[in-house]
């Protein structure tokens, strides 16, 4: 991929405090890798991060749910801690450290929460405990579930829920996860209209506000087992949803070997 002025640029190190390279015009080139719902799936995480490097992303943002369901919660926390400080808490991250009730979790999710609690170091638990529910950075809002009620972990799955989140946004662009289904909602305040798109190429155009659900790295649920994440090019004002094949079989086998519910292994093959 060619980016203005820096075609063939070397890989940049992730979120390490260095400024991204400037274009010929002097504006900053920023290509974000925005990902979430990793759910302890290290194979999927490493694969999307390798793909993101090939896409020349230079900033990393996590929309939450590092843990829960998968067999490598500790490794996923370590990897993400080394990668970026821009991370929000998901409902599973909260559940594992008692920040939210697991009563409304289904049986399998609850089993995974209880198993995950045994895997984390005290430092990792306090890391999850300290994650914010929302982040505002570089003109975007980052939250796991909804902008209007971040601590309730509802879903943006209807025009009405989208409208509530649009009304709560102070930025023009928000990134969310939680449903494990990539989808983008657009809002035009002139006619008070809301659209959605499931295209993988999302030009942001002149919409008043946009909410992008980046899908799930570690447990996709749109009948597509490939790991999902987003590349956001802030200069071209474009979001691309990437789908990446990873070693599903290895992740599946680890879930079984760990003694986690087998349904959590089987669903990875199906992407649902």
Residues at the site binding Zn ion, with contacts judged by CB under 5 A:
37, 65
Q: Which two tokens stand for residue 144?
A: 């796991």
CA distance 104 to 101: 7
The HSE-up count of residue 87 (CA atoms within 13 Å, CB side) is 27
Q: Which is nearer to Zn ion, 39 or 242 (CB)?
A: 39
Rounded-to-integer distance, Cα 115 and Cα 50, Å: 28
Nearer to Zn ion, 29 or 62 (CB): 62
Output the smallest distance, CB 69 to Zn ion, in A.
8
Least distance (Å) between residue 21 CB and Zn ion:
34
Q: Please say which residue, 37 or 51, places its beta carbon nearer to Zn ion.
A: 37
In the complex with Zn ion, which residue's Cβ is closer, 37 or 58?
37
Q: How far is the CB of 220 from Zn ion (least distance, A)?
A: 11
Q: In angstroms, rounded to a whole number, what is the distance separating the alpha carbons of residues 3 and 51?
A: 17
8: tokens are 């063939």
Nearest approach, Cβ of residue 219 and Zn ion (Å): 7
Is-contact 176 186, C-beta < 8 A? no
11-to-8, 54, 85, 164 alpha-carbon distances in Å: 9, 8, 19, 39
User: What is the helix (H) or strand (E) element at residue 143, kind and residue range?
Assistant: strand 140-143
For the CB of residue 231, give the shortest distance to Zn ion in the complex, in Å.
20
Closer Cβ to Zn ion, 12 or 39, answer by number: 39
């Amino acid at each position: 991929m060619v980016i203005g002025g820096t075609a063939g640029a070397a890989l940049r190190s992730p979120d390490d405090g260095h400024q991204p390279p400037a274009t010929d015009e002097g504006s900053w080139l920023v290509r974000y890798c925005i990902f979430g719902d990793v759910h302890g799936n290290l194979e999927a995480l490493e694969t999307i991060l390798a793909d993101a490097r090939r896409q020349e992303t230079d900033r990393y943002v996590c929309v939450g749910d590092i843990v829960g369901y998968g067999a490598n919660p500790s490794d996923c926390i370590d990897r993400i801690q080394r990668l970026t400080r821009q991370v929000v808490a998901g409902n599973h991250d909260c559940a594992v450290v008692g920040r939210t009730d697991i009563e409304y979790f289904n049986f399998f999710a609850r089993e995974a929460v209880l198993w995950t609690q045994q895997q984390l170091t005290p430092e990792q638990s306090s890391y999850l405990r300290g994650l914010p529910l929302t982040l505002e950075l570089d003109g975007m809002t980052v939250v796991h579930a909804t902008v209007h009620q971040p601590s309730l972990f509802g879903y943006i799955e209807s025009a009405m829920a989208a409208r509530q989140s649009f009304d709560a946004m102070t930025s023009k662009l928000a990134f969310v996860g939680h449903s494990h289904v990539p989808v983008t909602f657009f809002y035009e305040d002139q006619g008070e209209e809301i659209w959605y798109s499931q295209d993988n190429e999302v030009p942001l155009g002149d919409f008043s506000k946009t909410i992008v659900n980046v899908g799930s790295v570690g447990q996709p649920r749109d009948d597509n087992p490939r790991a999902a994440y987003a590349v956001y090019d802030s200069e071209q004002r474009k979001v691309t949803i990437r789908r990446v094949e990873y070693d599903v079989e290895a992740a599946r086998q680890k879930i079984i070997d760990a003694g986690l519910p087998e349904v959590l292994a089987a669903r990875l093959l199906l992407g649902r």
